[in-house]
């Protein structure tokens, strides 16, 4: 069994780790096919999760079905690794076969899902049948995604790769999925001004992790949707793209050149696109040499059909490879850490989603504590991201500690819960240090990296 897991990529390994977490969540003392399915959905970014989500299968829906079919365990399982059921072991063996048959030298979440479908008789297969009715439909969708195509989707039927590795922010804005953007009016206005220039019209957001550069792209989509932009940007679609993830997937399959050509073709065919590249200057190692996402799209920068802008960290910008033609078109936009007041405004917006997810009630004092403690005790992450993470940690910790007896009750998150969570999140309870002299904090170990080597 341990030899099998050696070929698992990071996404598949994380799915197996999360399968164990899902089993413990309902007090089961084993990992069955249903937990593997939950792990794939919980992982969230792999091909399996994308395929299942496109069919309308959500993590919460499968969780409900698991509890309806199996129920919750009467007592919490013992600490340590949970064993795989015989049927789950069979799925893992079929997973390896699926990868071999497809000519892949790795095992990803897509192969896990294909193996689960091939097994066809476990609880997971039963759940998929009730939610989709046809397991072959799921299999065909996975194979289509692997081949670089996807069935027509109402959101953007002509952009399968953009849809798979990015997000249509304009559609999200139109459907009310994007929350209000706080404290980024200056950056959004500057991006609009640069995009409307005739020359040097490629904005590059530069900021540290946690400052929320994606919020600038979301804000741009909202402004365009509202029609409050110059004519050259009217009715355009803002689309984010994680080109690094696309290349990582393609490298496993030996299709980097092919997929790069396909995504460039998709962008060219789009009638009016504003493309936002995350990790715009992250070094990418492709067959033709080392490049960056922004350099890949350099050939499109002079075309009127598409505008491109990106985001990166200060270190990436400093270490970038100098490309005269590209650098002449860039204009940097600094995205600084939000103030405490703006961070609090962001937390008030995020509070509703966290309360719904964790079934808790978050007090105002908890918001204030999260913002101030994150600023003072988590120096290597900035606001608002660090504060949001700390509040999420406090809510999760309170829910887990409450145990099974309080699972249906709404817990109140106060300043005390945030202070307690800080020890786990930051690894220290020492007094607030000054940022420049703070020692590197110790990262908490969330998962046992050897869970996949058991059995």
251 found inside a domain: yes
- The CATH number that applies at residue 308 is 3.40.50.300
- The CATH number that applies at residue 373 is 1.10.8.60
Q: Pick from 296, 313, 334: which residue ends a domain?
A: 334
Residues 302 and 177 in one domain: yes
* pLDDT at 452 (0 to 100): 35
* Angstrom distance (rounded) from CA 240 to CA 215: 11
Domain count, the chain: 3
Q: Say if residues 90 and 119 touch (Cβ distance below 8 Å).
A: yes
What tokens appear for 42 in the block? Answer: 């919980």
What tokens appear for 203 in the block? Answer: 């904005």
* pLDDT at 162 (0 to 100): 86
Structural domain for 139, as ranges: 2-146
* pLDDT at 402 (0 to 100): 82
Q: Pick from 146, 175, 200: which residue ends a domain?
A: 146
Residues 127 and 276 in one domain: no
pLDDT < 70: residue spans in the chain: 1-4, 77-80, 133, 147-158, 249-254, 288, 302, 304, 404-408, 427-455
Contacts of 211 (CB under 8 A, 6+ apart): 335, 336, 337, 338, 382, 383, 384, 385
pTM of the model: 0.60
Q: Pick from 334, 365, 389: which residue ends a domain?
A: 334
**Residue carrying the six token digits 């997937």:** 249
* Angstrom distance (rounded) from CA 289 to CA 161: 22
* pLDDT at 434 (0 to 100): 44
* pLDDT at 35 (0 to 100): 92
- The CATH number that applies at residue 135 is 1.10.1780.10
455 found inside a domain: no
* pLDDT at 113 (0 to 100): 93
Partnered with residue 35 across adjacent β-strands are none
């Amino acid at each position: 069994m341990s030899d099998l897991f050696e070929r698992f990529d990071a996404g598949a390994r994380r799915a197996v780790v999360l399968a164990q977490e899902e089993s413990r969540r309902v007090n089961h003392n084993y990992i069955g096919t249903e937990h593997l399915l939950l792990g794939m959905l919980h992982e969230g970014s792999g091909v399996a999760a994308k395929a299942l989500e496109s069919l309308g299968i959500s993590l919460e829906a499968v969780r409900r079905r698991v509890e309806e079919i199996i129920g919750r365990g009467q007592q919490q399982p013992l600490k340590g690794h949970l064993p795989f059921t015989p049927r789950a072991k069979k799925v893992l063996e079929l997973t390896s076969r699926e990868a071999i048959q497809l000519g892949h030298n790795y095992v990803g979440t897509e192969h896990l899902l294909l193996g689960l479908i091939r097994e066809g008789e476990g609880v997971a297969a039963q759940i998929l049948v009730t939610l989709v009715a046809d397991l072959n439909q799921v299999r065909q969708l996975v194979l289509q995604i692997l081949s670089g195509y996807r069935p027509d989707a109402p959101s953007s039927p002509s952009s399968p790769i953009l849809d798979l590795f990015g997000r249509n922010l304009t559609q999200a804005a139109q459907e009310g999925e994007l929350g209000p953007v706080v404290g980024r009016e200056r950056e959004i206005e500057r991006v609009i001004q640069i995009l409307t220039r005739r020359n040097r019209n490629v904005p590059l957001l530069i900021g540290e992790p946690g400052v929320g550069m994606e919020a600038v792209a979301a804000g741009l989509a909202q402004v365009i949707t509202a029609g409050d932009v110059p004519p050259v940007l009217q009715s355009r679609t803002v689309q984010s793209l994680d080109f690094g993830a696309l290349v990582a997937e393609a490298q496993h399959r030996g299709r980097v050149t092919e997929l790069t050509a396909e995504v460039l073709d998709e962008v060219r065919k789009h009638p009016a696109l504003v493309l936002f590249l995350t990790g715009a200057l992250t070094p990418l190692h492709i067959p033709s040499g080392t490049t960056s996402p922004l350099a890949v799209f350099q050939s499109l920068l002079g075309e009127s059909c598409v505008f491109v802008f990106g985001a990166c960290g200060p270190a990436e910008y400093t270490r970038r490879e100098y490309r005269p033609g590209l650098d002449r078109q860039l204009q940097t936009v600094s995205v600084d850490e939000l103030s405490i007041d703006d961070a609090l405004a962001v937390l008030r917006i995020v509070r509703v989603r966290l309360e719904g997810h964790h079934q808790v009630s978050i007090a105002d004092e908890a918001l204030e504590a999260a913002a101030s403690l994150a600023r003072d005790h988590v120096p290597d992450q900035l606001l608002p991201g660090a504060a949001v993470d700390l509040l999420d940690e406090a809510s999760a910790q309170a829910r887990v500690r409450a145990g099974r007896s309080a699972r249906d009750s709404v817990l109140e998150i106060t300043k005390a819960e945030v202070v307690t969570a800080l020890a786990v999140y930051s690894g220290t309870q020492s007094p607030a240090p000054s940022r420049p002299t703070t020692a590197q904090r110790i990262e908490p170990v969330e998962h046992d990296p050897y869970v996949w080597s058991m059995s």
